[in-house]
Structure 1
Amino acid sequence: MDADVLIVGGGPVGLLLACELKLAGVDPLVLEAATGRERVTRSLGMRSLNGRTMHTLGLRGLVEPLAEAQWALFDELATDRELADGDIVAGLVKTLRQGVSSGHFSGLPLVGEPGNRTPEMLLLKQHQLEQVLADRAAELGVAVRSGCRVVELVDEGVGVVATLADGGTVRGGYLVGCDGGRSLVRKRSGIPFSGTSATMTGRTALAELADPGAITSSLRGPGGLVNLSLVPGEIATIEFDGGPADRDLPVTAEEIQESIRRVSGTDAVVTRLEAAIRYSDNTRHAETYRRGRILLAGDAAHVHSPLGGQGLNLGLQDAANLGWKLALVVRGQAPERLLDTYTAERHPVAARVLRNTRAQVALMRPGPQVDALREVLSETLEIPEAKRHFMEMVNGTDIDYAPGAPHPLAGRFAPDREIEGVGWLRDLLRDGRGLLTGPPETRALAKGREDHLRVVEGAPDQAALLVRPDGYVAWAGAEAGLAEALDMWFGPR
């Protein structure tokens, strides 16, 4: 075997998955097809990391370097534009600095309350996120091959063979496709990918305009959407035209110019085009995330409109859910049935995201009926309970992997509480192991699993907890059921 696990795709999802596997004692090999130029277009636009992703990355100590990258970018941008008090960008920067921005729903802002240990969200470029994850992967000793395109793969039952564009082959015990919406891995695996076709065309470009001051951002207009990015020179449009005729054709300066004119009603002239991408609201979902020794994560498993910025977060959460499970199976410490919980847990989460992104696209369409609907929803978001519902939905903080469980904490992300004399619960998961807290009789049941489960004494007034490496509670509260939960999530002794 060339690696325990082959990961096809070295974007954020593939890199995080590789880090999780390596942390758990498994050797992954990341095969990334893109070169430097392709990565430039992949980093067009801004990427948001939502509440649950911030919590997840916080488990591994990655929030701090990402926050530094965000503020370095914002400091750089501040020198390139003056932020007036009424500027949309100024408002966004203000809420980010206060740590209260929780994103938006179809352009309707969702602002939380200050005081959390982890910021509500971060906003940065994709290449910044990739660099932080690549640095962590290098620290851990993860092998990454760039410019390495997979053209074929075969699941041989005892391993997977991937054929590369140069004719070479590599072998792994398992293979995970993190290779995007047009995933070759998904296609070769034969996993169905059904859904709905595109209804809109989005374009983002790094371009120079003859008169950049003539264009102002508008989230909705008769022709669609135009948005001047935080990044000088970046401009985006969305038109509700039935989707792009051919996404494979290169985006030209003329195409960007005409789209800006149609959406803004301004006679814009593009004088230079450096890079540009096309996208749509094509929405599709893999029937399963696993077939034999081949698995899917990120856009390879689900695609949808980028409105609301949930796609990247959904993929990173896939990686966090899968990494520790696959590592236990590869190491022979858990049976393969543990991998079945990956689809069981993550598929419903993605289905819900696909539903709300479809709704967000509908709320962006021009017309008086949608105008009225947006006004009604805006009023609804003033109701605290409704606002909380939407904030939890777009941030993934309402995820419950065990609905109906006897204890309210089971299946939910562990509360970041302080364990006296030990530290914050979040920090105790830094090494990628699970965690069991509780009295001596509870802790005794974990004997023999110390290499992948940390055991600490919990406070007498706190419920005993079994926390998975991804931060979710596997069992809580009482002695009954702990032995079964340990066998289920951490393998039999």
Structure 2
Amino acid sequence: MHDVVIAGAGPVGLFLASELALAGCSVLVLERDADPRPPLKALPLGLRGLNAGSVETFYRRGMLQPLLKASGADAANVGADPEADEAPAPRSLSHFAGITLDATDIDPAALIYRLPGAAMDGFMTSLEAVTEVLAERAATLGVSIVRDAPVTAVTQDEETVTVTAAGQDYSARWLVGCDGGRSTVRALADFSFVGTEPLFTGYVAKVTFADPHELPLGFQLTPTGMYLRTPLAGHLGMMDFDGGAFDRTQQLTREHLQTVLRRVSGTEATLEELHLASSFTDRAMQATTYRNGRVLLAGDAAHIHSPLGGQGLNLGIGDAMNLGWKLAATVRGDAPNDLLDTYTVERHPVGAAVLDWSRAQVATMNPGSNAPALQQLVRDLMGTPDGTTHVYRRTSGLFHRYDLGSEQPLIGCTAPDFRLTDDISLGDLLQEGRGVLLDFSPQQRLSEQAAPWKNRVRYVTGRPRNDLGFEALLIRPDGIVAWADTPAAPVGDALGHSLARWFGRC
């Protein structure tokens, strides 16, 4: 019997599997597809954007350099100068409703608690590249992956879960559904999935254009929808506000895509060939809880929305990073009683916010007689420093804040990349997947309090290049600040309570 069975060998399932294996759990991944490299994951249809928060997550597990290499990205455009004393201004920014914003309009003064590090910006990649890096990581850690094994049945009792896939039963202590927006696990385990119905059918395709000059590059909002052409050869995206009527209901033919393109672009653009295509909608749905007994959900299995702004992959990676260490501690038996419940408590509001962000973009893009006025108003507001900074904070993945019961603004947020020496930073210390207690005091005054948790929390002392006014911080395995000590706030019993809350009894 395995500790955990994961349904789905996409990025979320593989990242979660690696987190669990890193913590010593036995993990089995069941994947319904036989082909580990389906065409839809490769460029151009597999094009995805990783935000700065996801880049930071890969960095904190030692996978950033392999991912940059697999993605053909330049590390110099992602990280900061290692000799810098201050974090650079953001260099990349997501769009809002197809409206491109200028990163130079971001107000750096509004981005507190940032330090220079190896992961400062997002970059473009592909599902193929992300999956390959994570599959190699999972294999190195001993994760078993069974392909061509769609899940067909799930039963559970108080102690175990039994999963049937490809005619075989697998037993585990826990099951996590990472099997996508049409999750079989979610349906079989009777999760409630609620939200809003679609307004459009979206298309992404690889085509040969007869007259590419008819279609300018970038997002193009029109009176009848939106289309996108990127520098990738033959890459085409479209949104047709038909109420989602066409999605997966009919075959995607060249003739149909050409009809939609001419309608939404207002041109006579011609498609010579259709090589590959897929459809989607802006249906926005979310599970009301991410846990039902011994079954949990993560990624698209827990929430679906339109791909506008590129938040889907990033949201799923965040789920996996949050869940992994909590589920592993539960498997080991050293977790506080309610630790696993904090997964839904923390991640459900983040998912709900992303769904609303998606809905707001769709509402802005929805054609109609009033649409140009609304779009111009949004463009004007987003083009201000406050508006641009707001978009960056909502989409960068660096400014989510979990409510951990403290008014200190850093607690509940991702930790800055404190640099202790020329060769060691917080990101390096988190690669083991354990918590970290940073003690900046010269007397190592927290050593006695840290000692009982030494197997779960790494105690590190030393003066960082910039301490941001803190004397000590407790960092969870997912990089979230759980406790912070400043000169104005004596340690008292707060550190002990935080250690016990997140790491169990010593």
TM-score (norm 1): 0.89
CA distance in 1, matches of 2:61, 2:103: 24
CA deviation string 1:335-385 (max 9, x = no partner): 442110000000011111111110011122234533233333333234333
What CA RMSD, in Å, does the superposition of the two structures yield over aligned residues? 2.4
After superposition, the Cα gap between the structure-2 partners of 1:73 and 1:258, relative to the gap in structure 1 and judged at 3 Å, is: farther
CA distance in 2, matches of 1:296, 1:322: 10
Query: What is the aligned partner in structure 2 of residue 486 from structure 1?
Result: 499
Query: What is the aligned partner in structure 1 of residue 164 from structure 2?
Result: 163
Query: What is the aligned partner in structure 2 of residue 472 from structure 1?
Result: 480
Structure 1 range deviating more: 225-234 or 11-20: 225-234
Deviation at 1:111, TM superposition (A): 4.3
In the alignment, structure 1 residue 106 sits paired with structure 2 residue 106: no
Query: What is the aligned partner in structure 1 of residue 17 from structure 2?
Result: 18
After superposition, the Cα gap between the structure-2 partners of 1:443 and 1:383, relative to the gap in structure 1 and judged at 3 Å, is: farther
Instruction: Pick the aligned partner of 1:454 from 448, 455, 458.
Output: 458
Query: What is the aligned partner in structure 1 of residue 82 from structure 2?
Result: none
* Cα contact 1:436–1:443 (8 A) shared by 2: no
After superposition, the Cα gap between the structure-2 partners of 1:365 and 1:100, relative to the gap in structure 1 and judged at 3 Å, is: same
CA distance in 2, matches of 1:272, 1:34: 27
* Cα contact 1:201–1:238 (8 A) shared by 2: yes
After superposition, the Cα gap between the structure-2 partners of 1:37 and 1:268, relative to the gap in structure 1 and judged at 3 Å, is: farther
Count of equivalent residues: 468
CA deviation string 1:72-117 (max 9, x = no partner): 699xxxxxxxxxxxxxxxxxxxxxxx97112122223344469764
Q: Secondary structure at the match of 2:453?
A: coil
Query: What is the aligned partner in structure 2 of residue 306 from structure 1?
Result: 307
Structure 1 range deviating more: 400-409 or 222-231: 400-409
Query: What is the aligned partner in structure 2 of residue 209 from structure 1?
Result: 209
* Cα contact 2:334–2:503 (8 A) shared by 1: yes
Structure 1 range deviating more: 151-160 or 196-205: 151-160
Deviation at 1:433, TM superposition (A): 0.9
CA distance in 1, matches of 2:481, 2:280: 37
CA distance in 1, matches of 2:423, 2:234: 49
* Cα contact 1:411–1:474 (8 A) shared by 2: yes
1:429-440 mapped onto 2 (5 Å cutoff): 429-438=430-439, 439=441, 440=444
Query: What is the aligned partner in structure 2 of residue 284 from structure 1?
Result: 285
Q: Secondary structure at the match of 2:68?
A: helix
Q: Secondary structure at the match of 2:69?
A: helix
* Cα contact 1:326–1:339 (8 A) shared by 2: yes
Q: Secondary structure at the match of 2:195?
A: strand
In the alignment, structure 1 residue 400 sits paired with structure 2 residue 401: yes
After superposition, the Cα gap between the structure-2 partners of 1:228 and 1:383, relative to the gap in structure 1 and judged at 3 Å, is: closer
Structure 1 range deviating more: 336-345 or 373-382: 373-382
CA distance in 1, matches of 2:126, 2:423: 36
Deviation at 1:387, TM superposition (A): 2.1
Query: What is the aligned partner in structure 1 of residue 416 from structure 2?
Result: 415
Query: What is the aligned partner in structure 2 of residue 124 from structure 1?
Result: 125
Instruction: Pick the aligned partner of 1:463 from 465, 471, 478.
Output: 471
1:357 is matched by which residue type in structure 2? S
Extract unaligned runs of 5+ from structure 1: 75-97
1:467 is matched by which residue type in structure 2? I
Deviation at 1:48, TM superposition (A): 0.5
Q: Secondary structure at the match of 2:452?
A: coil
Deviation at 1:257, TM superposition (A): 1.9
After superposition, the Cα gap between the structure-2 partners of 1:248 and 1:179, relative to the gap in structure 1 and judged at 3 Å, is: farther
* Cα contact 2:4–2:26 (8 A) shared by 1: yes
CA distance in 1, matches of 2:41, 2:193: 23
1:462 is matched by which residue type in structure 2? F
In the alignment, structure 1 residue 189 sits paired with structure 2 residue 189: yes
Deviation at 1:25, TM superposition (A): 1.1
* Cα contact 1:223–1:262 (8 A) shared by 2: yes
Query: What is the aligned partner in structure 1 of residue 244 from structure 2?
Result: 243
Extract unaligned runs of 5+ from structure 2: 76-88, 109-115, 486-490
CA deviation string 1:231-252 (max 9, x = no partner): 2122111111111345254322
* Cα contact 2:98–2:221 (8 A) shared by 1: no
CA deviation string 1:419-474 (max 9, x = no partner): 25882112110111110122534232222332321111143963211100110011
2:338 is matched by which residue type in structure 1? R
Structure 1 range deviating more: 24-33 or 319-328: 24-33
CA distance in 2, matches of 1:447, 1:421: 27
2:164 is matched by which residue type in structure 1? T
* Cα contact 2:101–2:383 (8 A) shared by 1: no
* Cα contact 1:179–1:185 (8 A) shared by 2: yes
Deviation at 1:18, TM superposition (A): 0.8
Structure 1 range deviating more: 172-181 or 237-246: 237-246
Query: What is the aligned partner in structure 1 of residue 30 from structure 2?
Result: 31
After superposition, the Cα gap between the structure-2 partners of 1:16 and 1:168, relative to the gap in structure 1 and judged at 3 Å, is: same
Q: Secondary structure at the match of 2:38?
A: helix
* Cα contact 2:336–2:501 (8 A) shared by 1: no
CA distance in 2, matches of 1:229, 1:145: 36
CA deviation string 1:265-324 (max 9, x = no partner): 333443432221110000111000001110000011111111111011000000000000
Instruction: Pick the aligned partner of 1:443 from 429, 444, 447.
Output: 447
Identity rate of aligned residues, in percent? 42
After superposition, the Cα gap between the structure-2 partners of 1:255 and 1:335, relative to the gap in structure 1 and judged at 3 Å, is: same
After superposition, the Cα gap between the structure-2 partners of 1:169 and 1:465, relative to the gap in structure 1 and judged at 3 Å, is: same
Q: Secondary structure at the match of 1:407?
A: coil
After superposition, the Cα gap between the structure-2 partners of 1:255 and 1:346, relative to the gap in structure 1 and judged at 3 Å, is: same
* Cα contact 2:226–2:240 (8 A) shared by 1: yes
After superposition, the Cα gap between the structure-2 partners of 1:403 and 1:333, relative to the gap in structure 1 and judged at 3 Å, is: closer
After superposition, the Cα gap between the structure-2 partners of 1:72 and 1:395, relative to the gap in structure 1 and judged at 3 Å, is: closer
After superposition, the Cα gap between the structure-2 partners of 1:34 and 1:426, relative to the gap in structure 1 and judged at 3 Å, is: same
After superposition, the Cα gap between the structure-2 partners of 1:410 and 1:58, relative to the gap in structure 1 and judged at 3 Å, is: same
* Cα contact 1:402–1:412 (8 A) shared by 2: no
1:100 is matched by which residue type in structure 2? R
1:485 is matched by which residue type in structure 2? S
Deviation at 1:146, TM superposition (A): 1.7
Deviation at 1:59, TM superposition (A): 0.6
CA distance in 2, matches of 1:205, 1:248: 17
